[in-house]
Amino acid sequence: MDNSYQEWKKLAKKEIRQEELDSLFWDTPEGIRIKPLYTAQDLSELTYTDTMPGLFPYIRGPRATMYVNKPWTIRQYAGFSTAEESNVFYKKNLEMGQKGLSVAFDLATHRGYDSDHERVMGDVGKAGVAIDSVEDMKILFSGIPLDKMSVSMTMNGAVLPVLAAFIVAAEEQGVAVEQLSGTIQNDVLKEFMVRNTYIYPPQTSMRIVGDIIAYTAKNMPRFNSISISGYHMYEAGADSVHELAFTIADGLEYVKEALSRGLAVDDFAPRLSFFFAIGMNFYMEIAKLRAARLLWAEMMAQFEPKNPQSSMLRTHCQTSGWSLTEQDPYNNLIRTTVEAMAAVLGGTQSLHTNAMDEAIALPSENSSRWARNTQIILQEEAQICRVVDPFGGSYFMESLTHSLAHEARKVILEMQNLGGMAKAIELGIPKMCIEKCAAERQARIDSGKDTIVGVNRYQVDKEDEIETLEVDNSRVREQQIQRLQAIRKSRSEADVKEALNAITQAVKDNQGNLLDLAVKAMRLRATVGEVSEAIALVCGRYEAKNNLISGVYAKGFLGDQEFMDIKQSVCDFNQIHGRNPRIYIAKMGQDGHDRGAKIVATGFSDLGFDVDIGPLFQTPEEVAQMALEADVHAIGVSSLAAGHKTLVPRLIECLNALGASEILVFVGGVIPRSDYEFLRQKGVASIFGPGTPVIQCAKEVLKLIEAKGKD
């Protein structure tokens, strides 16, 4: 083998110069060294390089025959507007080849607010379906047999009333609880790191997780009690090592929580599932799924399971939403195809492919069809399903799988040395790691070190106009309020109050099973908001601290002239005005995705701006007041959940009412170009779509602030 390798090097040197050959060795963002060629020698010191599918440690897949026997499940994460409209959409998708349902709830539901609550006026029905009660859930699944259909629900904060409403809706459809199959996400630890749709403090949240695991282990043998999610970590900026390590570490924390309830590991572990993102690093994503199965099997060994399924990592995957671009958007069809292939070659059990227009709006009917057909074509035209783990035994893939697992083990050990993942999250360490990765990645893109086709290279002169979907938020909210009023009139208020009091008392006493009590309350037509509030009466709503990392973005621009020029302009501003330009970064509504807001804050800070970051979930009134008190020149609003047409105009109205019309408002995020003129007419100074370099934003905002000062 060594002789053959030397012969290859001789041939390679005839084709390219030595310095070019040396440049073919490179380091991934995870710090893993990649060579241009791998041989059997690279596997000589590794363990588990000659394994079989379905056998420990399951690197090649949790089932022996994988897709040869049964293809992965095609899912479409969908839900928007009302339960009626989502139901029609689901039925149509099922007719077109979708095999399982994945429900997207709106942000009001995620955060445990009823649609009539004052804090969710811009969120109802926007980024998912509005669910306030059992009646909504019954409509959502009308005509869909829940004893035959696997249903996945992405829900964490309001997981108790939502899962309870699903159970009761099934009962009233004639389906017993033990017949239900599917998954509830129920992964609250990652919410405190990245997605932020938590409601309660960590201790109460972990109790809820444990109660759901215990209830489903006893009553729902076909249902996955938790989907341990790395997806949102990746979307928030984590590299593959940290996504993998933190996800496995979260899983271990949930296992320990269930064991502390007196459950045997084999009572619940076979129904634990995972959820990973699939990005554009093709080989790394394949290796990530293989390494995840290896790590989980290794980690579960300490609990001495007797059932092999307790050690098998089964996962759902979703192609990356963050990798989608507003610029030259049809490229997104290709990106999603590449990512989908990585997911299935890595051995996922189910898959959702994102629609090509999700960088700018909710998926249209056409884009949803193309996304779904991507999977159908892979299953039925590409012959991918005819071979089990085609990458098994690959010198490169086996080496990369083990390298990734090795790096992830080091991070997992760090978390364990801190006292486990829950303790590490309390200290804010995982969140800071992810934010650092995100800032580094953005700097590589903005500086041109990483290529994004259509964004920083190969740009088109004229962008294609594409069809987008828009939800009439006010119409949906009005309909939901009418339904809530009807439910409250028809139910027994005394019975509902008694059921809600029982939940509150159970939280106080740390007794009983909260899911069981929530089911009883939802049968009586309690609402999602009422059950959520019954718990919050004891522990309150959790408020996270906002920290700003500094210096990370700037490191990506060492020696960059444009970066230095902007910094100098900020210094010049200070010399003229006696202070730095000051901005307030705001997240309004119930959207907790703060990657964009944090990156903008970090980038502006590194360029010399004074930056204040507001807390999550603010109302326009709160943002206006805090910005005025902070004496800022401008407010930057990060919008990812389609609430910009409601919340941003309201913010400008509030500023005017406070006599602060001199404060500029700029907006960034997922905003269709068709909405730009509307926002400008309402008084927005500038709009920055997805993929806009932070230094470009900073240059434009500084220019606007300077111009405002001259008026």
Could you say which of 77, 90, 198, 584 is catalytic?
77
Residue 124 in 3-state DSSP? coil
Is residue 395 annotated as part of the catalytic site, yes or no? no
Does the active-site annotation cover 633? no
- 3-class DSSP assignment, residue 230: coil
Does 495 qualify as catalytic in the annotation?
A: no
What is this structure's pTM?
A: 0.91
More confident residue, 80 or 517: 517
- Report the candidate in 292, 245, 290 with the shortest Cα–Cα distance to residue 424: 245
Q: Which residue has the tokens 């005017």?
A: 656
How far apart are the C-alpha atoms of 520 and 329, rounded to whole Å? 47
Q: What is the DSSP letter of 40?
A: G
Side-chain-side CA neighbours of 463 within 13 Å: the count stands at 14
φ and ψ at 559, to 5 degrees? Answer: 80, 0
Catalytic residue among 138, 190, 232, 352: 232
pLDDT at 677: 94
3-state DSSP helix/strand/coil % of the chain, to nearest 5: 55, 10, 35
Residue 675 bears catalytic tag: no
73 bridge partner residues: 350
Residue 711: active-site member: no
Q: Which of 48, 90, 198, 231 is catalytic?
A: 231
- Could you tell me the CA-to-CA distances from 537 to 143, 503, 507, 616 in Å, in that order? 37, 10, 9, 21
Q: Which of 308, 391, 386 is nearest to 343 (CA)?
A: 391
Catalytic residue chosen out of the listed positions 316, 352, 402, 587: 587
- 469 band by pLDDT with thresholds 50, 70 and 90: low
The residue count for the chain: 711
Q: Which two tokens stand for residue 573?
A: 């501003």
At residue 642, the pLDDT reads 67
Determine if the peptide bond prior to 57 is cis (ω within 30°): yes
- Out of 288, 316, 436, 593, the active site residue is 593
Among candidate residues 213, 169, 116, 160, the one with its CA nearest the CA of residue 518: 160
Rounded CA-CA distance 437/443 in Å is: 10
In the numeric block, which tokens belong to residue 457? Answer: 């290279």
From the list 116, 267, 591, 675, the catalytic residue is 591
| Mean local confidence (pLDDT), 313-324 | 95
357-371 confidence digits (pLDDT tens) = 887 777 778 888 899
- 234 is an active site residue: no
Return left, alpha or beta for 287; rule: phi > 0 is left, psi -120 to 50 is alpha, else beta: alpha
Distance between first and last Cα of the chain: 75
pLDDT digit string (tens) for 423-458? 999 899 999 999 999 999 999 999 999 999 999 999
In the predicted structure, residue 170 carries a pLDDT above the cut 70: yes
pLDDT digits (tens, 9 = 90+) for 661-710: 999 999 998 888 888 999 999 999 999 988 889 999 999 999 999 998 75
186-209 residue pLDDT tens: 999 999 999 899 999 999 999 999
Half-sphere exposure of 454 (CA within 13 A, CB side): 17
